[in-house]
Structure 1
Amino acid sequence: MLTSGVLYLYVLLFFVIKIIYCQTSCNCDQPDSDFATGVNLVYYKCDNETSATIDYPITTPEGLLNVLEDKRVIFYIFGFNQIANDSNVQLMLKALCHGRTDNVVLLDWSRYSNGFYWTCFKNAEKIGSLFARSIQLLVKNGLDVSKIYLIGFSLGAHIAGFVGKCNKFVIPRITGLDPANPLFYLPGCYLKSTDATWIDVIHTDMGGYGTFTFMGTAEYYANGGFPPQPGCKLFGIPLSPRDFCSHERAVELYAKSKRQPKEFIAVKCSSYDDYEENECKNNLHTGIGYNALNVTGTFYFSTGAI
């Protein structure tokens, strides 16, 4: 008779195999021009707390090259049930603008990010194809690939993956902030470790709104990665701010890592139990989020409520 732990592993393995198999459904074809209307790349001038912005259509982004400064370009992609003006999105953008260390560009897909999840997911795949083509146009017209850095939250993490899947050049880094849980929609195209040279993933709501699968080259688990995160409740009204608390914590942690570089230190470890017992063999320490080192493996770190 199978123990509950072994049964869980069999179920988990089934879904992981199913998710990997479904990667064959990735489609880089461009949607019709009407679909792209209202989807923009938004440049943030990062001049103050309410930074001025300039919008560039996703299909004709070349004008963005005229305003970019000679430094790295961070493209941020928000997730399901969010829009550009959400407080969680603005928290991230203000943090990225802090110190004016990078160019900051938002992929604004607000027109398609709300509604039934399965509809948003299929729309997100089309957004991913558009975004990949948009980055291709920017590179073709002079953007240095080595300066591209993509950060995606939830469903936005999977959108980011399309840039790597649908182009011949290699993106240096993608950060997935609690990538959306594939179990909500199995036959889809998801972020995977080959979409960029280095992919770091922060887990805060595994098995809830966030994925439990390995999608990066470095996986970071806040307080073990499972809900509830400190200060959050385990359950709430579905899709409510209370219910999203642990999921959105990944964004909050990244934002804080930008403003306070020494706040969070992760340790490479084989398991969360070993981390809690201070029995990590390697003892490799690294920052998280904005300050993460280019490392591989599984890392654990602790936080309080934010």
Structure 2
Amino acid sequence: MLTFIIYFYLLLFLMRIMHGQGNSCACNQPDSDFAIGVNLIYYKCNNETSGTIVYPITAPEEMLKVLEDKRTIFYIFGHSQSPDDANVQLMMRALCYERTDNVVLLDWSKYSKLFYWISFQRAEKVGRLFAQSIRLLVKNGLDISKIYIIGHSLGVPIAGFAGKCNDFTIPRITALDPANPLFYPFGCYLRSTDAAWIDIIHTDMGGYGTLTCMGTAEFYANGGTRPQPGCKLIDNPFSKADVCSHQRSVEIYAESKYHPKEFIAVQCPCYVDYKENKCKGNLQSYVGYAASDVHGSFYFHTGTL
């Protein structure tokens, strides 16, 4: 097993060299051909999530004509996903619920469905494009204070670039089970300085999700590790069954939009103390959509969603 791990990391390192990544957190823009097919999709949220308007990521300014005077949520899906995936549509329906926010999806499916290590490299370039698109929107009138970015899995590093590569502060980034750095140890991941407030929902730590604390508030569902209720401990890699716990973070967030009072977390130093009811009376917080400006580690239980 140890030999396999050594070979695995050696392979990743060699691939990194072969692809000549250099400083992956740099903010230089990729060539114009790379951006073709990467889009921002505005959801009309008129009870039909299929009602959308597509804008090229390099020219998002026209979207300002349709944005209403309220917060704008940008959602970024993860590896192997696309706008039509059930997990993504689940989130779109939830974000559109009651039309509380403008809803925009970053569609990078042109690159998200490649082999993981290639998708990660492309994701860093997509992140730079995304940062530029946010900058163009702000330059042309989008209120910075009304920007909210949500990323899932490999979408989380992309979200981080909006903070790294701009001279203004993103108010909030929510990271749904951020991608595990063990799969790509030399990449540019979300940092706690990428937004004024960053909340993380962990559901598959050490699996497809990171073991690292990346935010100002860390929320651990059922301890934050697999198997989440209703999911298997292990299955074929990248199969629907095997990513069940990883995808649960999206399901939890979506449900938190509909039923915020059902997702209350308690601040606690560790999961053992939480399970033994040693944290009664500690600070409590909503999880997901209704969460706001708390700091530290929070634990909560869920059933099968």
Q: TM-score, normalised by structure 2?
A: 0.92
Whether the aligned pair in 1 keeps the contact of 2:24 and 2:124 (CA below 8 Å) is no
1:220 aligns with 2:249: no
Match of 1:17 in 2: none
Match of 1:171 in 2: 170
Shift of the alpha carbon at 1:293? 2.2
Match of 2:299 in 1: 300
Whether the aligned pair in 1 keeps the contact of 2:127 and 2:159 (CA below 8 Å) is yes
Match of 2:131 in 1: 132
1:120 aligns with 2:119: yes
Which ranges in structure 1 are unaligned for 5 or more consecutive residues?
A: 1-21
* Residue identity opposite 2:239 in structure 1: S
Shift of the alpha carbon at 1:263? 1.0
Whether the aligned pair in 1 keeps the contact of 2:177 and 2:200 (CA below 8 Å) is yes
* Residue identity opposite 1:170 in structure 2: T
Whether the aligned pair in 2 keeps the contact of 1:269 and 1:282 (CA below 8 Å) is no
Q: TM-score, normalised by structure 1?
A: 0.91
1:142 aligns with 2:141: yes
C-alpha distance in 1, partners of 2:53/2:221? 35
Whether the aligned pair in 1 keeps the contact of 2:145 and 2:170 (CA below 8 Å) is yes
Match of 1:105 in 2: 104
Shift of the alpha carbon at 1:42? 0.3
Whether the aligned pair in 2 keeps the contact of 1:96 and 1:104 (CA below 8 Å) is yes
Matches within 5 A, 1:276-291: 276-280=275-279, 283-291=282-290
Matches within 5 A, 1:77-96: 77-96=76-95
Whether the aligned pair in 2 keeps the contact of 1:220 and 1:266 (CA below 8 Å) is yes
Task: Please give the root-mean-square deviation of Cα atoms over the aligned residues, in Å.
Answer: 1.3
Deviations 1:4-26 (A, max 9, x none): xxxxxxxxxxxxxxxxxx99641
* Residue identity opposite 2:176 in structure 1: L
* Residue identity opposite 1:184 in structure 2: F
Whether the aligned pair in 2 keeps the contact of 1:181 and 1:211 (CA below 8 Å) is yes
Match of 1:271 in 2: 270
- Partner SS, residue 220 of structure 2: strand
Matches within 5 A, 1:20-39: 25-39=24-38
Deviations 1:258-300 (A, max 9, x none): 0111111100000001101111276111110001121000000
Which ranges in structure 2 are unaligned for 5 or more consecutive residues?
A: 1-20
Matches within 5 A, 1:143-222: 143-222=142-221
Tell which deviates more after alignment, 45-54 or 257-266. 45-54
Runs of 4+ with >6 A deviation: none
Match of 2:239 in 1: 240
* Residue identity opposite 2:270 in structure 1: S
Whether the aligned pair in 2 keeps the contact of 1:269 and 1:281 (CA below 8 Å) is no
Deviations 1:48-94 (A, max 9, x none): 14340000000000001000000000000000010110000000000
Whether the aligned pair in 2 keeps the contact of 1:254 and 1:289 (CA below 8 Å) is yes
C-alpha distance in 1, partners of 2:304/2:297? 22
Shift of the alpha carbon at 1:27? 1.4
C-alpha distance in 2, partners of 1:123/1:23? 14
Shift of the alpha carbon at 1:116? 1.0
- Partner SS, residue 78 of structure 2: coil
C-alpha distance in 1, partners of 2:296/2:220? 11
* Residue identity opposite 1:278 in structure 2: N
- Partner SS, residue 175 of structure 1: strand
Match of 1:4 in 2: none
Tell which deviates more after alignment, 219-228 or 277-286. 277-286
Whether the aligned pair in 1 keeps the contact of 2:72 and 2:146 (CA below 8 Å) is yes
Whether the aligned pair in 2 keeps the contact of 1:23 and 1:189 (CA below 8 Å) is no
C-alpha distance in 2, partners of 1:224/1:184? 22
- Partner SS, residue 206 of structure 1: coil
Deviations 1:22-53 (A, max 9, x none): 99641111000000001000000000143400
Whether the aligned pair in 1 keeps the contact of 2:43 and 2:49 (CA below 8 Å) is no
C-alpha distance in 2, partners of 1:196/1:54? 27
Deviations 1:164-206 (A, max 9, x none): 0000000000000000000100111000100000000000000
